[in-house]
C-alpha cells in the first residue's frame, strides 16, 4: 500500500517539477526583445527575436514551430524615430554590398545601445524563467523529500519485519 501511495504522489511531483525546471532553464535561451537574428530565407525562426536576412538586413518571413511570421524592424519601446534610425543605418551598411559578420555585430550593438537608453518602464526585459525554476525546484525538492520519507519508513518496516 505504501508503495502505491508513494508512486501516486512522487511520480507526478518529480515529473511536473522536472518539466518546470526544463521550461525555466530554456526560457532564458530564446532571443530577447532586442535581439536580431540574421538568417537566410527559408530558415526556421522562433516566437521571439527579430529575424532579418543575413545579406540584406530585410525582415524575413520565416516558419517556426507551429507558426508562420513576418519579422519586422520595430523594437518594443523604441520611438518611430529610433526605429527609422536603425533602418537608415542598416541601409547605409548595405550600400557597399552584402552585410558582413562585423555589420551584424554593429547592428546588434547599435540596437542594444538605443535600448539601454530607454526610460525606465519603457524597456522590455527578457524573460528569465526564474519563476518556473523556483516552482520546479520546489516541486522536485518536495518529491525528493517525500520520497526519502517513504524510503525511510519502508526501510524501518522492512528491518522490523512487515506487520501482518
At residue 38, what are phi and psi to the nearest 5 degrees?
A: -90, 125
pLDDT in tens, 59-99: 887 776 666 767 778 888 899 999 888 888 888 888 777 88
At residue 51, what are phi and psi to the nearest 5 degrees?
A: -95, 120
* pTM, to two decimals: 0.56
Mean pLDDT over all residues of the chain?
80
pLDDT at position 73, please?
81
pLDDT at position 29, please?
61
Tell me what percent of the residues of the chain surpass a pLDDT of 90: 2
Q: Taken in order 67, 54, 90, 114, is the CA torsion positive or negative?
A: positive
Whether the per-residue pLDDT at 164 is higher than 60: the answer is: no
pLDDT at position 81, please?
92
Q: Which residues pair with 8 in a beta bridge?
A: none
pLDDT in tens, 109-133: 998 899 989 888 787 776 666 777 7
Confirm if 33 and 124 have CB atoms less than 8 A apart: yes
Whether the per-residue pLDDT at 140 is higher than 60: the answer is: yes
Residue 107 grid coordinates:
547592428
Amino acid at each position: 500500500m505504501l508503495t502505491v501511495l508513494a508512486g501516486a504522489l512522487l511520480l507526478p511531483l518529480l515529473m511536473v517539477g522536472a518539466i518546470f525546471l526544463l521550461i525555466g532553464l530554456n526560457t532564458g535561451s530564446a532571443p530577447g526583445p532586442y535581439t536580431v537574428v540574421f538568417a537566410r530565407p527559408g530558415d526556421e525562426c522562433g516566437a521571439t527575436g527579430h529575424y532579418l536576412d543575413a545579406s540584406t538586413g530585410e525582415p524575413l518571413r520565416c516558419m517556426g514551430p507551429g507558426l508562420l511570421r513576418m519579422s519586422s524592424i520595430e523594437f518594443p519601446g523604441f520611438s518611430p524615430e529610433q526605429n527609422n534610425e536603425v533602418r537608415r543605418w542598416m541601409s547605409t551598411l548595405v550600400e557597399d554590398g552584402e552585410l558582413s559578420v562585423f555589420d551584424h555585430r554593429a547592428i546588434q550593438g547599435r540596437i542594444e545601445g538605443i535600448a539601454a537608453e530607454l526610460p525606465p518602464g519603457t524597456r522590455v526585459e527578457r524573460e528569465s524563467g526564474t519563476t518556473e525554476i523556483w516552482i520546479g525546484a520546489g516541486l522536485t525538492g518536495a518529491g525528493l523529500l517525500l520520497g526519502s520519507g517513504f524510503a525511510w519508513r519502508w526501510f524501518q518496516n522492512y528491518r522490523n519485519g512487515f506487520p501482518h
